Amino acid sequence: MKRAGKSRPGPRSLLDYAQAHPEDSWEQMRDNNAEGGYTAAHDCRDRAIQDQHGLCAYCEQKITTEAPRHRRIEHFHPKADQSGTHNWSLDWENMLAVCDGGGESSTAERKIHPLPANLSCDAHKDREIQAGNLPSNCEGYLLNPLCIPAFPNLLALDKGTGHFRPDYGSCSTVDYPGNAYNTTAELVRRTIAALNLNCERLAVKRRLLVVDIDKNKKTWREKGLPPAALPAALIRRYFKEKWPEFFTTLRCCLGPAAEDHLNSLNYQG
């Protein structure tokens, strides 16, 4: 889970629609083709995906399909909240691009990684809310990708299991605003659990990436690459695009080389 980029202001079509229909819900806008609502919803999805460099805001998998059910907008603050005068449904700052969370997996995939154990991201977050394990207004109870600090990396990776855990050293240096828990580490731990980021469906993909990194290290050593040149070679291989799938996994595996590379790019999400 990485810091998500956000271009401002939001899509012109959204701003125009919200001005004309300030009380409409997301669903009302999305279904209002006659007055540009469908276009606005489509523009929001496209812009959020672009801002996030094609990565799901939670699990960091590539959002690769054009199917609407796979290219979703997640409202971090519940869009149904009508407790005040603010319309969270049409608030660009409240929108994140997310994957399907495993809910649209193929039949073959579900046999390997059955549901609901392998739901993740907003699909699992919603399940936790419905079960009463997470407040519907989860601000302070979950890390918001738009508010995660770019540095330091708050997550650590167990390379053997592919599971994330808090990086306790990094967490101890960060005072996350609005944290509902006693420590940043506890907030990170709860976030991983609520989004089910350690489900086996995701963990196995991280383990495969770890294996690929180790394989490349071995190959380059056997070809005589000097040890001092290995970090730069790994960065060139795995950070060819901005930003790569499973960004945080790579960041954890490549360690100081990744941090130096991100600093050189003035990484902010």
190, part of any domain: yes
5, part of any domain: no
First and final C-alpha spacing in the chain: 11
2, part of any domain: no
196, part of any domain: yes
Global pTM value: 0.94
- Residues of the chain falling short of pLDDT 50: none
Alpha-helix runs per DSSP H in 80-199: 107-112, 121-130, 168-171, 184-194
Cα–Cα nearest to 164, from 238, 231, 259, 251: 251
- The tens digit of pLDDT for each residue in 199-222 reads 999 999 999 999 999 999 999 999
Cα–Cα nearest to 147, from 269, 49, 3, 48: 3
pLDDT number for residue 67: 62
Judged by DSSP in three states, 8 sits in: coil
What's the CA gap between 145 and 3, in Å, rounded? 5
4, part of any domain: no
**What is the domain count for the chain?**
1
Could you tell me if 134 and 195 are in contact, meaning their C-beta atoms sit under 8 angstroms apart?
no
What range does the domain containing 102 cover? 12-264
**CB-based contacts of 139: which residues, under 8 Å, 6+ apart?**
76, 77, 178
pLDDT number for residue 83: 80
What's the CA gap between 147 and 188, in Å, rounded? 13
pLDDT number for residue 66: 66
